[in-house]
Structure 1
């Protein structure tokens, strides 16, 4: 978070292009693990921005452990998403245009647990019906990546 905080000191809340990874973790029933975030109080996927010198896969691995206390043997690349509909404005006013690499975690080890100050709780959700209080950006990601087709 150091790099982004340094940028924010220079540009304030103006839009930044943020590059990061989104990690999708499915249980044996095919339900998706989401975290209720402290900054927006809604449900989102595990993931975050790159740190300087970090690869997208390294960011996925780091975020998976930091936010959910989990490790994955590997990651399956799904897609990269960007553009106007990847814009997000945080409740505190910071604006970003996300460039997001979407991965599925393969052979996940451990039990999900809050492991940092970014999440309030973790829970698995079926993608067969709408998820209450789902972050709008995450809905865009799940739709564009082909995980939501029914609602």
Structure 2
């Protein structure tokens, strides 16, 4: 059982500080890889919470592998996001205030493949076109880093 799940057993769905990493993967055309989430059935970025003793870059690498079956030669830090507007309430009721390192994966290798139960599908989206069913929190993050207008 992961660290966050252990905390949830004690604290229930009360708000937690959630340090984590978000991984942006772009193809040759500059399109962004998103996953259709199994909890909310909308499109979001790859990423997740840190495990105990893990660095932000290690979390980015792990999440990239777990959620998309990909590896990267490096991760470029794009932004560190925190604060009131980084609040998120999951569909099942858990509440978090994210402290999120946003990375762009560099030198990505592999073919995007759904590898875990968090995602239903992986797909590249052009950023100059509306993305249907974009997760509102993901939209906020992409706007904050200048990926969306």
> TM-score, normalization: structure 1?
0.97
Q: Does 1:123 align with 2:126?
A: no
- Aligned residue runs from structure 1 range 1-151, under 5 A: 2-149=2-149
Tell me by how many angstroms 1:25 deviates: 0.1
Gapped runs of 5+ residues in structure 2?
A: none
Tell me by how many angstroms 1:39 deviates: 1.1
> TM-score, normalization: structure 2?
0.98
Distance in 1 of aligned mates of 2:132 and 2:84:
24
Cα deviation 1:17-74 (Å, max 9, x = unaligned): 1000000000001000000011111100000000000000000000000000000000
RMSD between superposed Cα atoms in Å: 0.8
Tell me by how many angstroms 1:79 deviates: 0.7
How many residues are treated as equivalent by the alignment? Answer: 149
Distance in 1 of aligned mates of 2:129 and 2:139:
12
Q: Which runs of 4+ in 1 moved over 4 A?
A: none
Cα deviation 1:71-94 (Å, max 9, x = unaligned): 000011101001111111111100
